[in-house]
Structure 1
């Protein structure tokens, strides 16, 4: 795994969890302005998800690390992101599978899972590296995805 210092999120919670993982996926950005990125190509994405909360669950976890990885890795690894029509489409720029939108989508998927947990943790940040020199940080505003 890439050793990285991630941007910090200031928050009032007692616990903060960070999960690193990677996944390999292809995509294309359906816009003439995307240059070469409008053609199918792939990346090994490196992700860090920051989750925080005040209460632990019945197992003593804020969230089980394995669950977070499973939510994202199992869904996106070795896929063409554009084929995930539940999250991405070729018509709305807010749903093109750019790194920004993929980071936001990861946050939405994780938060949807967290909302069903009795201890109600919050996804505070998704750091998503697309290449060795390019990354996006997504932070929901005031709990709004």
Structure 2
């Protein structure tokens, strides 16, 4: 695993959990303006999810690390992103599987699960590296979640 220092934002929560993971996936951007990215190709994505909160669950976790990995890895590893309902929309750029949209989707998927937890943790940031030299940081809009 790469040792990485991630950008972070000060927050008022007592706990901050960070989970690193890899997943391999193929995609294409269905727009000729995307250049080479409009052709089918793959990446080994590296993701870091930051989850914050004030309360621990009945096991003493903010969130179980393995749950976070399962939510992402089991869904997207060794798949074609364009084949997922989250990224189908040939005329909807907000649903193209760009790194930006994938990072946002990871945050939304995790947050959807977290919303059902009694201790109410929050996914505050997703760092998604597509290549060794290109990454995106996604944070929910101010006031939207935190």
Pair in the same fold by TM > 0.5: yes
Task: Give the Cα–Cα distance (whole angstroms) in 2 for the partners of residues 26 and 69 of structure 1.
Answer: 19
Task: Give the Cα–Cα distance (whole angstroms) in 2 for the partners of residues 22 and 45 of structure 1.
Answer: 6
- SS of the equivalent of 2:23 reads strand
Matched with 1:88 is 87
Number of aligned pairs?
Answer: 144
Residues 62-118 of structure 1 show CA distances to partners (whole Å, capped at 9, x for unaligned) of 000000000000000000000002x11222000100000000000000000000000
Residues 13-64 of structure 1 show CA distances to partners (whole Å, capped at 9, x for unaligned) of 0000000000000000011110000010000000000000000000000000
For structure 1, the residue ranges without an aligned partner over 5 or more in a row are none
Cα RMSD (Å) of the superposition? 0.9
TM-score when normalising by structure 2:
0.96
Task: Give the Cα–Cα distance (whole angstroms) in 2 for the partners of residues 91 and 111 of structure 1.
Answer: 26
For structure 2, the residue ranges without an aligned partner over 5 or more in a row are none
Matched with 2:138 is 138
Matched with 1:104 is 104
Structure 1 position 43 matched with structure 2 position 78:
no
